Amino acid sequence: MKRHAFKMKLKPGCEAEYRRRHDAIWPELSKAIHDAGISDYSIFLDPQTLTLFAVQKQENPSSAATLPDHPIVQKWWDYMAGLMEVHPDNSPVCHDLEEVFHLP
List the one residue out of 39, 80, 13 whose CA is nearest residue 94.
80
Amino acid at 76: W
22 flagged as catalytic: yes
Measured CA to CA, the distance from residue 18 to residue 22 in angstroms comes to 6
Kindly name the residue from 22, 34, 87, 95 that is annotated as catalytic.
22
Measured CA to CA, the distance from residue 15 to residue 1 in angstroms comes to 31
- Name residues whose C-beta falls within 8 Å of residue 46's C-beta, 6 or more positions apart in sequence: 52, 53
Q: Which residues are catalytic?
A: 22
